[in-house]
Amino acid sequence: MLLKSKKEEMIKDIDKAIKDSSSVVFVNFHGMKVADETILRKSLREQGVNYRVSRKTLLKRALLKKAEGEIPELSGEVAMAYSKDEVASSREIYNFQKAHKGILEILGGIFEGKFVGKEKMMEIATIPSREVLLSKIAFLLKSPIQRLAIAVNEVAKKK
């Protein structure tokens, strides 16, 4: 049994983590093996995402009045992934979930100061990275110019 002072300290740590991050993802990790969790933590760390396992009661206390809306149902064994990047935490959890079927389940999260459900966090997780979006924009800008150059070249060949 934890002492009250230790519980208060844990709640403060969770509270600080939520305040310092742009988005938080709540994850059910029931049945996860230690080796899988080690792989998960390593891949999250590489992307600048923090991962913390917490007791549900302490997590619920820390979440009171932290965001708008209703706290998603936190079932099973709960952990939270959080980062300063708004999309990184949900994307990395989603990628791990895809690669390791049936181990993790996204329960919901906090995004832009609001509690969001599982479906919304899955949508956020599938947003492409900044580099991918920039390359798509560059391709869209390059394509008309390239077609114009081909057309001018064909006209020049005919004359």
**Average pLDDT, whole number, for the chain?**
87
Tens of pLDDT, residue by residue over 42-61, are: 999 998 999 999 888 888 88
pLDDT classification of 155: cutoffs 50, 70, 90: confident
pLDDT surpassing 80 at residue 79: yes
The average pLDDT across 106-122 equals: 89
Helix (H) or strand (E) holding 120: helix 118-125
Q: 80 vs 70, which has greater pLDDT? A: 80
Query: Which pLDDT does position 18 carry in this prediction?
Result: 87
Contact (Cβ atoms closer than 8 angstroms) between residue 40 and residue 99: no
Provide the CATH number for the domain formed by 4-127 in this structure.
3.30.70.1730
CA 40 – CA 107 distance, rounded (Å): 17
At residue 62, φ and ψ (nearest 5 deg) are: -70, -30
Q: What percent of the chain has pLDDT over 90?
A: 21
CA 136 – CA 73 distance, rounded (Å): 37
Query: Which pLDDT does position 81 carry in this prediction?
Result: 93
pLDDT classification of 7: cutoffs 50, 70, 90: confident
Query: Which pLDDT does position 45 carry in this prediction?
Result: 92
Residue ranges of the domains in the chain? 4-127, 128-159
Query: Which pLDDT does position 3 carry in this prediction?
Result: 85
Q: Tokens 């150059």 identify what position?
A: 149
Q: Which of 52, 53, 41, 30 is nearest to 96 (CA)?
A: 41
Q: Token digits for 137?
A: 């924009």
pLDDT surpassing 80 at residue 153: yes
Q: Say if pTM beats, i.e. exceeds, 0.75.
A: yes
The average pLDDT across 117-124 equals: 88
Q: Which of 95, 91, 105, 98 is nearest to 23 (CA)?
A: 91
Q: Token digits for 66?
A: 């932290």
The average pLDDT across 11-31 equals: 89
DSSP H helix total and E strand total for the chain: 6, 5
Q: How many CB atoms lie under 10 A from the CB of residue 130?
A: 10
